[in-house]
A and B are shown apart, each in its own frame.
Chain A
Amino acid sequence: MRHVIEPTDLSPPELNDLIKAAEEVRRRPEDYAGRCHGKILAALFYEPSTRTRLSFESAMLALGGGVIGFSSGDASSASKGESVADTIRTVSCYADICAIRHPKEGAALVASQFSTIPVINAGDGGHEHPTQTYTDLLTIHSIKHRMTDMTVGFCGDLKFGRTVHSLLKALTLYPRNRYLLVSPEELRIPDYIRGLLKERDCLFEEVTDLESAIERMDVLYMTRVQRERFFNEEDYVRLKDSYILDKRKLSAAKPDLTILHPLPRVNEIAPEVDSDPRAQYFQQARYGKFIRMALILKLLEEAGAC
Protein backbone atom coordinates (compact mmCIF):
# COMPACT_ATOMS: atom_id res chain seq x y z
CA MET A 1 0.00 0.00 0.00
CA ARG A 2 1.33 3.39 -1.04
CA HIS A 3 1.42 6.22 1.54
CA VAL A 4 2.72 9.78 1.53
CA ILE A 5 4.27 10.49 4.90
CA GLU A 6 7.12 12.80 3.91
CA PRO A 7 7.69 14.86 0.76
CA THR A 8 10.33 12.46 -0.58
CA ASP A 9 7.85 9.57 -0.59
CA LEU A 10 7.18 10.69 -4.15
CA SER A 11 10.21 10.45 -6.43
CA PRO A 12 11.18 13.58 -8.40
CA PRO A 13 9.56 12.23 -11.62
CA GLU A 14 6.40 11.31 -9.68
CA LEU A 15 6.33 14.77 -8.19
CA ASN A 16 6.61 16.32 -11.65
CA ASP A 17 3.71 14.16 -12.79
CA LEU A 18 1.69 15.16 -9.74
CA ILE A 19 2.27 18.85 -10.47
CA LYS A 20 1.22 18.29 -14.09
CA ALA A 21 -1.88 16.42 -12.95
CA ALA A 22 -2.78 19.22 -10.53
CA GLU A 23 -2.41 21.80 -13.29
CA GLU A 24 -4.72 19.70 -15.43
CA VAL A 25 -7.23 19.64 -12.58
CA ARG A 26 -6.99 23.40 -12.34
CA ARG A 27 -7.59 23.85 -16.07
CA ARG A 28 -10.51 21.42 -16.35
CA PRO A 29 -12.01 20.85 -12.89
CA GLU A 30 -15.27 19.63 -14.42
CA ASP A 31 -13.48 16.59 -15.85
CA TYR A 32 -12.66 15.48 -12.31
CA ALA A 33 -16.02 16.11 -10.66
CA GLY A 34 -17.04 12.44 -10.49
CA ARG A 35 -13.67 10.70 -10.46
CA CYS A 36 -13.96 9.57 -6.83
CA HIS A 37 -17.70 9.01 -6.77
CA GLY A 38 -18.62 6.66 -3.94
CA LYS A 39 -15.19 6.87 -2.33
CA ILE A 40 -14.65 8.09 1.21
CA LEU A 41 -11.84 10.15 2.69
CA ALA A 42 -11.29 9.84 6.44
CA ALA A 43 -9.95 13.12 7.82
CA LEU A 44 -8.44 12.20 11.19
CA PHE A 45 -7.47 15.44 12.85
CA TYR A 46 -6.13 14.83 16.35
CA GLU A 47 -5.46 18.54 16.64
CA PRO A 48 -7.40 21.36 15.03
CA SER A 49 -6.04 22.70 11.75
CA THR A 50 -9.00 24.22 10.02
CA ARG A 51 -7.13 25.33 6.93
CA THR A 52 -5.62 21.94 6.15
CA ARG A 53 -8.77 20.02 7.00
CA LEU A 54 -10.98 22.19 4.80
CA SER A 55 -8.50 21.83 1.98
CA PHE A 56 -8.60 18.03 2.13
CA GLU A 57 -12.39 17.98 2.49
CA SER A 58 -12.89 20.41 -0.36
CA ALA A 59 -10.52 18.38 -2.54
CA MET A 60 -12.40 15.12 -1.90
CA LEU A 61 -15.82 16.72 -2.42
CA ALA A 62 -14.63 18.28 -5.68
CA LEU A 63 -13.71 14.77 -6.85
CA GLY A 64 -17.23 13.59 -6.07
CA GLY A 65 -16.26 11.64 -2.96
CA GLY A 66 -17.41 11.86 0.63
CA VAL A 67 -15.64 12.75 3.88
CA ILE A 68 -15.84 11.36 7.41
CA GLY A 69 -13.64 12.08 10.40
CA PHE A 70 -13.04 14.24 13.42
CA SER A 71 -11.44 17.64 13.85
CA SER A 72 -9.84 17.58 17.28
CA GLY A 73 -8.29 15.05 19.62
CA ASP A 74 -10.84 15.48 22.39
CA ALA A 75 -13.78 14.54 20.19
CA SER A 76 -12.13 11.32 19.08
CA SER A 77 -11.48 7.94 20.56
CA ALA A 78 -7.91 9.13 21.20
CA SER A 79 -9.24 10.91 24.26
CA LYS A 80 -10.36 7.51 25.51
CA GLY A 81 -6.84 6.23 25.09
CA GLU A 82 -7.16 4.35 21.82
CA SER A 83 -3.91 4.02 19.93
CA VAL A 84 -3.34 5.41 16.46
CA ALA A 85 -2.81 1.83 15.30
CA ASP A 86 -6.23 0.67 16.52
CA THR A 87 -7.99 3.75 15.18
CA ILE A 88 -6.53 3.35 11.70
CA ARG A 89 -7.38 -0.35 11.62
CA THR A 90 -11.01 0.53 12.26
CA VAL A 91 -11.04 3.50 9.91
CA SER A 92 -9.59 1.29 7.17
CA CYS A 93 -12.93 -0.54 7.22
CA TYR A 94 -14.94 2.64 6.69
CA ALA A 95 -12.88 4.70 4.27
CA ASP A 96 -10.84 4.33 1.08
CA ILE A 97 -8.12 6.85 1.91
CA CYS A 98 -7.05 8.75 5.01
CA ALA A 99 -5.50 12.11 5.85
CA ILE A 100 -4.10 12.26 9.37
CA ARG A 101 -3.03 15.25 11.44
CA HIS A 102 -1.48 14.56 14.84
CA PRO A 103 0.49 16.62 17.36
CA LYS A 104 3.15 13.93 17.81
CA GLU A 105 6.02 13.40 15.39
CA GLY A 106 5.89 10.10 13.57
CA ALA A 107 2.16 9.51 14.16
CA ALA A 108 1.38 9.36 10.44
CA LEU A 109 4.13 6.78 9.92
CA VAL A 110 2.60 4.66 12.68
CA ALA A 111 -0.81 4.95 11.01
CA SER A 112 0.64 3.86 7.67
CA GLN A 113 2.17 0.76 9.25
CA PHE A 114 -1.21 -0.50 10.40
CA SER A 115 -3.40 0.81 7.60
CA THR A 116 -4.90 -1.09 4.70
CA ILE A 117 -5.81 2.16 2.91
CA PRO A 118 -3.45 4.91 1.65
CA VAL A 119 -2.41 7.36 4.38
CA ILE A 120 -1.51 10.98 3.70
CA ASN A 121 0.35 12.84 6.42
CA ALA A 122 -1.46 16.14 6.99
CA GLY A 123 1.11 17.28 9.55
CA ASP A 124 2.74 15.37 12.42
CA GLY A 125 3.82 17.88 15.02
CA GLY A 126 6.71 19.97 13.81
CA HIS A 127 7.94 17.13 11.65
CA GLU A 128 6.56 16.68 8.12
CA HIS A 129 3.70 18.10 6.08
CA PRO A 130 4.18 16.89 2.52
CA THR A 131 1.06 18.40 0.93
CA GLN A 132 2.20 21.82 2.16
CA THR A 133 5.48 21.39 0.29
CA TYR A 134 3.73 20.07 -2.82
CA THR A 135 1.40 23.09 -2.68
CA ASP A 136 4.37 25.44 -2.58
CA LEU A 137 5.95 23.69 -5.56
CA LEU A 138 2.73 23.71 -7.57
CA THR A 139 2.20 27.41 -6.83
CA ILE A 140 5.70 28.29 -7.99
CA HIS A 141 5.42 26.15 -11.10
CA SER A 142 1.98 27.43 -12.04
CA ILE A 143 3.02 31.06 -11.75
CA LYS A 144 6.59 30.86 -13.03
CA HIS A 145 6.07 28.01 -15.53
CA ARG A 146 9.41 26.61 -14.46
CA MET A 147 11.27 25.19 -11.46
CA THR A 148 14.76 26.18 -12.54
CA ASP A 149 16.82 29.33 -13.13
CA MET A 150 15.18 31.34 -10.37
CA THR A 151 16.42 33.37 -7.47
CA VAL A 152 14.33 32.27 -4.53
CA GLY A 153 14.30 34.28 -1.32
CA PHE A 154 13.35 32.86 2.05
CA CYS A 155 12.72 35.38 4.80
CA GLY A 156 12.04 35.11 8.52
CA ASP A 157 12.64 32.22 10.88
CA LEU A 158 14.81 29.91 8.81
CA LYS A 159 16.03 27.93 11.80
CA PHE A 160 12.81 26.42 13.10
CA GLY A 161 10.59 26.87 10.06
CA ARG A 162 9.70 23.40 8.87
CA THR A 163 8.00 24.65 5.72
CA VAL A 164 11.22 26.39 4.70
CA HIS A 165 13.36 23.29 5.24
CA SER A 166 10.97 21.02 3.35
CA LEU A 167 10.65 23.42 0.42
CA LEU A 168 14.42 23.89 0.24
CA LYS A 169 14.94 20.13 0.27
CA ALA A 170 12.53 19.78 -2.65
CA LEU A 171 13.56 22.85 -4.68
CA THR A 172 17.26 22.08 -4.54
CA LEU A 173 16.58 18.95 -6.61
CA TYR A 174 15.97 21.30 -9.54
CA PRO A 175 19.03 22.81 -11.23
CA ARG A 176 20.29 26.36 -11.51
CA ASN A 177 18.32 28.07 -8.77
CA ARG A 178 19.92 30.58 -6.44
CA TYR A 179 18.85 31.10 -2.86
CA LEU A 180 18.83 34.26 -0.76
CA LEU A 181 18.32 33.31 2.86
CA VAL A 182 17.23 36.34 4.86
CA SER A 183 17.03 35.98 8.63
CA PRO A 184 18.25 37.40 11.90
CA GLU A 185 21.63 36.00 12.91
CA GLU A 186 19.91 33.86 15.58
CA LEU A 187 17.50 32.23 13.16
CA ARG A 188 19.73 31.15 10.28
CA ILE A 189 19.19 27.82 8.52
CA PRO A 190 20.37 24.75 10.46
CA ASP A 191 23.65 23.07 9.56
CA TYR A 192 22.06 20.11 7.86
CA ILE A 193 20.22 22.34 5.38
CA ARG A 194 23.42 24.31 4.73
CA GLY A 195 25.16 20.97 4.17
CA LEU A 196 22.49 19.91 1.71
CA LEU A 197 22.79 23.16 -0.26
CA LYS A 198 26.54 22.65 -0.55
CA GLU A 199 26.20 18.97 -1.39
CA ARG A 200 23.83 19.85 -4.25
CA ASP A 201 26.13 22.63 -5.50
CA CYS A 202 23.54 25.34 -4.95
CA LEU A 203 24.43 29.00 -5.00
CA PHE A 204 23.18 30.60 -1.82
CA GLU A 205 23.76 33.64 0.32
CA GLU A 206 22.82 34.13 3.94
CA VAL A 207 21.96 37.75 4.62
CA THR A 208 20.28 39.69 7.39
CA ASP A 209 18.63 42.47 5.40
CA LEU A 210 15.50 41.94 3.32
CA GLU A 211 15.45 45.43 1.86
CA SER A 212 18.78 45.09 0.06
CA ALA A 213 18.18 41.52 -1.10
CA ILE A 214 14.63 41.78 -2.42
CA GLU A 215 15.53 43.36 -5.78
CA ARG A 216 17.24 40.18 -6.94
CA MET A 217 14.42 37.77 -6.11
CA ASP A 218 11.99 36.02 -8.47
CA VAL A 219 10.18 34.31 -5.62
CA LEU A 220 9.96 35.46 -2.00
CA TYR A 221 8.81 32.94 0.60
CA MET A 222 7.88 34.79 3.77
CA THR A 223 7.61 33.14 7.18
CA ARG A 224 6.82 34.37 10.62
CA VAL A 225 9.41 35.53 13.13
CA GLN A 226 7.96 34.39 16.42
CA ARG A 227 8.49 36.34 19.58
CA GLU A 228 9.26 33.24 21.63
CA ARG A 229 12.25 32.37 19.42
CA PHE A 230 14.18 35.32 20.82
CA PHE A 231 16.16 35.43 24.00
CA ASN A 232 14.83 38.80 24.96
CA GLU A 233 12.11 41.24 24.07
CA GLU A 234 14.55 44.00 23.02
CA ASP A 235 16.07 41.86 20.27
CA TYR A 236 12.63 40.95 19.05
CA VAL A 237 11.41 44.53 18.92
CA ARG A 238 14.65 45.69 17.31
CA LEU A 239 14.63 43.00 14.66
CA LYS A 240 11.06 42.23 13.79
CA ASP A 241 10.49 45.25 11.52
CA SER A 242 13.39 44.25 9.29
CA TYR A 243 11.50 41.09 8.43
CA ILE A 244 8.11 42.63 7.80
CA LEU A 245 7.26 43.02 4.15
CA ASP A 246 5.60 46.33 3.37
CA LYS A 247 5.03 48.53 0.33
CA ARG A 248 8.23 50.46 0.85
CA LYS A 249 10.47 47.37 0.82
CA LEU A 250 8.49 45.98 -2.09
CA SER A 251 9.15 49.08 -4.19
CA ALA A 252 12.65 47.78 -4.97
CA ALA A 253 11.42 44.33 -6.08
CA LYS A 254 11.03 43.00 -9.62
CA PRO A 255 7.63 43.57 -11.23
CA ASP A 256 7.15 39.81 -11.60
CA LEU A 257 8.19 38.81 -8.10
CA THR A 258 5.99 36.09 -6.59
CA ILE A 259 5.33 36.49 -2.87
CA LEU A 260 4.36 33.35 -1.00
CA HIS A 261 3.57 32.56 2.62
CA PRO A 262 2.45 29.26 4.17
CA LEU A 263 -0.27 31.09 6.19
CA PRO A 264 -1.64 31.90 8.64
CA ARG A 265 0.09 35.24 8.59
CA VAL A 266 0.42 37.34 11.71
CA ASN A 267 2.17 40.60 11.00
CA GLU A 268 5.09 39.68 8.78
CA ILE A 269 3.32 40.93 5.66
CA ALA A 270 1.62 44.29 5.99
CA PRO A 271 -2.03 44.19 4.82
CA GLU A 272 -1.23 46.98 2.35
CA VAL A 273 0.73 44.38 0.33
CA ASP A 274 -2.31 42.13 -0.13
CA SER A 275 -3.67 44.13 -3.07
CA ASP A 276 -0.33 44.08 -4.90
CA PRO A 277 -0.52 41.70 -7.87
CA ARG A 278 2.74 40.13 -6.74
CA ALA A 279 1.09 38.88 -3.55
CA GLN A 280 0.11 35.27 -4.31
CA TYR A 281 -0.29 33.84 -0.82
CA PHE A 282 -4.04 33.71 -0.89
CA GLN A 283 -3.92 31.99 -4.29
CA GLN A 284 -1.73 29.34 -2.67
CA ALA A 285 -4.78 27.94 -0.87
CA ARG A 286 -6.43 27.28 -4.23
CA TYR A 287 -3.35 25.43 -5.45
CA GLY A 288 -3.38 23.47 -2.20
CA LYS A 289 -6.79 22.11 -3.12
CA PHE A 290 -5.71 21.12 -6.64
CA ILE A 291 -2.58 19.33 -5.48
CA ARG A 292 -4.59 17.41 -2.87
CA MET A 293 -7.13 16.43 -5.53
CA ALA A 294 -4.32 15.14 -7.73
CA LEU A 295 -2.70 13.29 -4.83
CA ILE A 296 -5.92 11.66 -3.59
CA LEU A 297 -6.68 10.54 -7.12
CA LYS A 298 -3.18 9.17 -7.68
CA LEU A 299 -3.17 7.15 -4.44
CA LEU A 300 -6.68 5.80 -4.97
CA GLU A 301 -5.81 4.80 -8.53
CA GLU A 302 -2.66 3.04 -7.38
CA ALA A 303 -4.66 1.24 -4.72
CA GLY A 304 -7.04 0.09 -7.43
CA ALA A 305 -9.95 1.91 -5.80
CA CYS A 306 -10.56 4.44 -8.58
Chain B
Amino acid sequence: MLSIDSIKKGVVIDHILAGKAMQIYDHLNLEALDCSVAIIKNAKSEKRGKKDIIKIEDRIDLDLNILGYMDPNVTVNIIEDGVITSKLKLSLPDTLTNVIQCKNPRCITSVERHLSHKFLLSDRGQKIYRCAYCEQEHK
Protein backbone atom coordinates (compact mmCIF):
# COMPACT_ATOMS: atom_id res chain seq x y z
CA MET B 1 0.00 0.00 0.00
CA LEU B 2 1.08 3.53 -0.80
CA SER B 3 2.10 5.36 2.28
CA ILE B 4 0.14 8.51 1.71
CA ASP B 5 -2.10 8.62 4.74
CA SER B 6 0.06 10.62 7.00
CA ILE B 7 3.06 12.77 6.40
CA LYS B 8 5.43 14.06 9.03
CA LYS B 9 6.11 17.36 7.39
CA GLY B 10 4.54 18.98 4.36
CA VAL B 11 1.42 20.45 2.87
CA VAL B 12 -1.98 18.85 2.38
CA ILE B 13 -4.28 20.58 -0.05
CA ASP B 14 -7.71 19.24 0.80
CA HIS B 15 -11.26 19.68 -0.50
CA ILE B 16 -10.16 20.26 -4.08
CA LEU B 17 -13.11 20.12 -6.45
CA ALA B 18 -13.10 16.57 -7.84
CA GLY B 19 -11.18 16.42 -11.11
CA LYS B 20 -9.24 19.64 -10.54
CA ALA B 21 -6.17 18.14 -8.87
CA MET B 22 -4.12 17.84 -12.04
CA GLN B 23 -4.80 21.44 -13.02
CA ILE B 24 -3.62 22.59 -9.62
CA TYR B 25 -0.62 20.28 -9.87
CA ASP B 26 0.31 21.95 -13.16
CA HIS B 27 -0.23 25.53 -12.03
CA LEU B 28 1.74 25.04 -8.84
CA ASN B 29 4.43 23.49 -11.01
CA LEU B 30 4.71 20.57 -8.59
CA GLU B 31 6.41 18.52 -11.26
CA ALA B 32 9.54 20.57 -10.63
CA LEU B 33 9.75 19.40 -7.01
CA ASP B 34 11.93 16.44 -6.17
CA CYS B 35 10.04 15.59 -3.01
CA SER B 36 7.21 13.08 -3.07
CA VAL B 37 3.81 14.32 -4.15
CA ALA B 38 0.62 12.26 -3.90
CA ILE B 39 -2.55 12.99 -5.78
CA ILE B 40 -5.72 11.38 -4.53
CA LYS B 41 -8.65 11.62 -6.88
CA ASN B 42 -12.35 11.19 -6.09
CA ALA B 43 -11.97 10.72 -2.36
CA LYS B 44 -15.16 10.77 -0.34
CA SER B 45 -16.05 14.18 1.05
CA GLU B 46 -18.80 15.20 3.39
CA LYS B 47 -18.56 18.77 2.17
CA ARG B 48 -18.35 18.19 -1.56
CA GLY B 49 -19.46 14.59 -2.16
CA LYS B 50 -16.24 13.84 -4.03
CA LYS B 51 -12.98 15.65 -3.73
CA ASP B 52 -9.37 15.54 -4.76
CA ILE B 53 -6.44 15.84 -2.37
CA ILE B 54 -2.80 16.69 -2.98
CA LYS B 55 -0.14 15.81 -0.42
CA ILE B 56 3.32 17.28 -0.70
CA GLU B 57 5.93 15.80 1.56
CA ASP B 58 8.80 17.70 3.20
CA ARG B 59 8.13 21.11 1.69
CA ILE B 60 6.14 23.83 3.44
CA ASP B 61 7.63 26.88 1.73
CA LEU B 62 5.55 26.78 -1.44
CA ASP B 63 3.78 29.78 -2.91
CA LEU B 64 0.19 28.58 -2.87
CA ASN B 65 -1.57 31.91 -3.43
CA ILE B 66 -2.78 30.87 -6.84
CA LEU B 67 -5.15 28.43 -5.12
CA GLY B 68 -7.10 31.45 -3.89
CA TYR B 69 -7.95 32.18 -7.50
CA MET B 70 -8.32 28.65 -8.83
CA ASP B 71 -10.43 27.16 -6.06
CA PRO B 72 -11.04 29.32 -2.99
CA ASN B 73 -12.88 26.44 -1.26
CA VAL B 74 -9.81 24.28 -0.81
CA THR B 75 -8.23 24.00 2.59
CA VAL B 76 -4.49 23.99 3.01
CA ASN B 77 -2.99 22.29 6.04
CA ILE B 78 0.62 22.80 6.97
CA ILE B 79 2.00 19.76 8.76
CA GLU B 80 5.04 19.62 10.97
CA ASP B 81 6.06 16.74 13.26
CA GLY B 82 3.04 14.79 12.12
CA VAL B 83 0.45 17.34 13.26
CA ILE B 84 -1.37 20.17 11.56
CA THR B 85 0.37 23.32 12.71
CA SER B 86 -1.60 25.80 10.68
CA LYS B 87 -4.36 26.15 8.15
CA LEU B 88 -3.44 28.51 5.38
CA LYS B 89 -5.98 31.21 4.72
CA LEU B 90 -6.22 31.64 0.99
CA SER B 91 -6.52 35.08 -0.52
CA LEU B 92 -6.58 36.19 -4.13
CA PRO B 93 -3.06 36.57 -5.52
CA ASP B 94 -2.00 40.05 -6.67
CA THR B 95 -0.81 38.71 -9.98
CA LEU B 96 -1.71 35.75 -12.16
CA THR B 97 0.83 34.63 -14.73
CA ASN B 98 -0.29 32.24 -17.45
CA VAL B 99 -3.37 31.16 -15.55
CA ILE B 100 -5.91 33.03 -17.64
CA GLN B 101 -5.60 34.48 -21.13
CA CYS B 102 -6.30 37.98 -22.41
CA LYS B 103 -9.11 37.89 -24.97
CA ASN B 104 -8.72 41.46 -26.22
CA PRO B 105 -7.88 41.25 -29.96
CA ARG B 106 -6.21 44.67 -29.74
CA CYS B 107 -3.84 43.50 -27.00
CA ILE B 108 -0.13 42.99 -27.76
CA THR B 109 -0.41 39.46 -26.33
CA SER B 110 -2.74 38.59 -29.24
CA VAL B 111 0.11 39.00 -31.76
CA GLU B 112 3.22 38.28 -29.72
CA ARG B 113 2.65 34.70 -28.65
CA HIS B 114 5.78 34.34 -26.55
CA LEU B 115 4.57 36.91 -24.02
CA SER B 116 3.23 35.53 -20.78
CA HIS B 117 -0.36 36.38 -19.99
CA LYS B 118 -0.07 38.44 -16.88
CA PHE B 119 -3.05 39.77 -14.93
CA LEU B 120 -3.14 42.16 -11.99
CA LEU B 121 -5.80 42.14 -9.29
CA SER B 122 -7.61 45.46 -9.62
CA ASP B 123 -10.56 44.89 -7.29
CA ARG B 124 -10.25 42.33 -4.51
CA GLY B 125 -13.87 42.62 -3.37
CA GLN B 126 -15.25 42.07 -6.86
CA LYS B 127 -12.48 39.64 -7.85
CA ILE B 128 -11.59 41.65 -10.94
CA TYR B 129 -8.34 40.98 -12.72
CA ARG B 130 -7.03 43.20 -15.51
CA CYS B 131 -4.51 42.37 -18.21
CA ALA B 132 -1.14 43.90 -17.29
CA TYR B 133 -0.69 45.05 -20.89
CA CYS B 134 -4.04 46.35 -22.14
CA GLU B 135 -5.87 46.65 -18.79
CA GLN B 136 -8.91 44.82 -20.13
CA GLU B 137 -10.94 43.12 -17.44
CA HIS B 138 -10.96 39.33 -17.50
CA LYS B 139 -14.47 37.92 -17.68
Residues B114 and A104 in contact, CB atoms below 8 Å apart: no
Query: Bound state CA distance, A193 and B105, in angstroms?
Result: 23
Most buried by A among B104, B107, B132, B133: B133
* A binding-site residues for B, Cβ under 8 Å: 83-85, 102-107, 109-110, 124-127
12 A-B pairs with C-beta separation under 8 A: A83-B112, A85-B114, A103-B106, A104-B106, A104-B108, A105-B133, A106-B107, A106-B108, A106-B131, A106-B132, A106-B134, A107-B133
Q: A127-B134, A127-B135 are in contact. Are A110 and B112 (CB under 8 A)?
A: yes
* Minimum CB distance partner of B136 in chain A: A105
* Minimum CB distance partner of A109 in chain B: B133
Sorted from nearest, which 8 A-B pairs have the closest CB atoms?
A106-B133, A105-B134, A104-B108, A106-B108, A107-B108, A106-B134, A125-B106, A105-B106
What are the residues of chain B within 8 A of A85 when measuring CB–CB? Answer: 112, 114-115
Query: Bound state CA distance, A109 and B116, in angstroms?
Result: 13
* Minimum CB distance partner of A125 in chain B: B106
What are the residues of chain B within 8 A of A126 when measuring CB–CB? Answer: 106
* Minimum CB distance partner of A110 in chain B: B108
Residues A110 and B114 in contact, CB atoms below 8 Å apart: no
Residues B107 and A105 in contact, CB atoms below 8 Å apart: yes
- Chain B: minimal CB distance from A123 (Å): 13
Residues A110 and B115 in contact, CB atoms below 8 Å apart: yes
B77 an interface residue at 8 Å Cβ cutoff?
A: no
* Minimum CB distance partner of A113 in chain B: B115
From residue 58 to 113 of chain B, which have CB atoms closer than 8 A to chain A? 104, 106-112
From residue 114 to 139 of chain B, which have CB atoms closer than 8 A to chain A? 114-115, 131-136
Query: Bound state CA distance, A165 and B26, in angstroms?
Result: 40
* Minimum CB distance partner of A106 in chain B: B133
What are the residues of chain A within 8 A of B107 when measuring CB–CB? Answer: 104-106
Query: Bound state CA distance, A85 and B113, in angstroms?
Result: 12
Residues A104 and B131 in contact, CB atoms below 8 Å apart: no
Residues A106 and B109 in contact, CB atoms below 8 Å apart: yes
* Minimum CB distance partner of B131 in chain A: A106
